[in-house]
Chain A
């Protein structure tokens, strides 16, 4: 997916949004006025944010810092992202867990209250509808955040199944947090910076944990998670307090935590080996193929009971026919849809996302190859613009993750 220089602003949006071609076309040609704005829109513009259409929203792709600088600064100091385009919601009711377990692969019942996990919403064929971080707040309250680009589809899917579930007497309802904004604070200074703004002892709050606490004077949903591979938080804040919170975070870090856009967010998540839904995971890709078997709880493997369980459990038993892998390559960065070949030049798969790693100073990519050819060290060729370049399959993450764990 590439364009001429004049399409610059659009190209990354396309690369980030991709998947459904019709949707992309609509996104790309949506006029500025049709785009939704987060409450921080003016703040982004005032700080030099270069706004681009993304999943129906006008979002900053970068600020004054280049993508390279922003990526490095996140790992050295910290980054603040506005991710209010993502959709936060709660499922509440005494059967909320039983309901959600029909739709996702996680062992939600087995989560300790106040903890969460990455999970996958599946369809009847075992393919991924979306990936999502879910938190069991209490036994009758689940909090989750779904992708902006999947919002309509996810909510329709949840609603349809919720109706059927309730018709059979199940107790579950939802609350969608459109009145809240979502900030992601990531990087080594995330904890110490946020600690200035809350009385809660954050040193006792570990990766994957969730709390509802007062931050900078307002009631926030705090999750120690992120999409960069660094320690950090996602903070759901009442929208009227979002601007104050963003300013306070930047100020308390003494300028070291910097506003960071979607461009560096993509580099960071790629370096961390994390999937971008729509690129690295789609309707026809199962969590097993995507390398997320670890997210399918032991009990769920034994019992099934989620959409597509028959397909997924069979894949766990027999092994999937394709697998998501990491790649290093020479030459130009391998972007999505580049063909992956074996050493004889035969096609063995396709790159799903890739780019130049600001931290490693070399090309990294992820993609899917046939099982058996997925082992780290396997030599491959990657076809780009009619030429092939040397590559090899490698373990992910590309850059070591630094999650805050006990």
Chain B
């Protein structure tokens, strides 16, 4: 049954990944990786704008706080997303979290690999774990997002206030 398959493959991937990386202490969480050249929303999503298309996913900091992702709810390609509005949800063992779009536009592709292997969000948040690709309707929205340095600072401050 498909459900079992995705579940066990996630678990295997996660156990593998957690066993070969050091445990994060709360202090180390401040140093979750942030990639230069991407834009970041204060709701912890990233955007990579290349040519006509922008790729969207959640940050390393976000996946680290969420814990093992067990299900990803994605929209259909062809629909639209609006800046700062939810387009999907990520389910971890811990909780359900809405995922907001950092920009507005038309969804041109969704990462169907996440259906079978939601754990890609944990193991590769900036690469294989991308969620949707969007054709921006208002590229100037990207200007309002944070850069890598700004986002790193934002995470540190947010962690400190918790």
Contact = CB atoms under 8 A, between A and B. Distances in A.
Contacts of A12: 94-95
A219 interface: no
B3 A362 contact: yes
Interface string A20-33: 00000000000000
Interface in B1-53: 2-4, 7-8, 10-11, 14-15, 18, 23-26, 42-45
B93 A332 contact: no
B158 A6 contact: yes
B97 A4 contact: yes
Chain A interface residue bracket vs B: 35 or more
B113 interface: no
A8 B93 contact: no
Max chain B Cβ within 10 angstroms of own Cβ: one of A1, A2, A7: A2
A379 to B, nearest CB: 14
A48 B25 contact: yes
Max chain A Cβ within 10 angstroms of own Cβ: one of B3, B18, B23, B62: B3
Nearest to A66: B67
B23 A356 contact: no
Interface stretch (B68-76, B104-112, B130-138, B145-153): B68-76
B70 A333 contact: yes
Contacts of B14: 66, 68
Contacts of A66: 14, 18, 67-68, 93
B65 A69 contact: no
Contacts of B71: 331-333, 356
Interface of B: 2-4, 7-8, 10-11, 14-15, 18, 23-26, 42-45, 58, 62, 65-68, 70-71, 73, 86, 89-100, 158, 162
Interface of A: 1-9, 11-12, 15, 48, 50, 61-62, 64-69, 71, 263, 267, 330-333, 335, 355-356, 358, 361-363, 385
- CB-based closest 10 A-B pairs: A2-B96, A361-B7, A11-B95, A64-B23, A356-B70, A5-B44, A332-B71, A8-B65, A67-B93, A5-B62
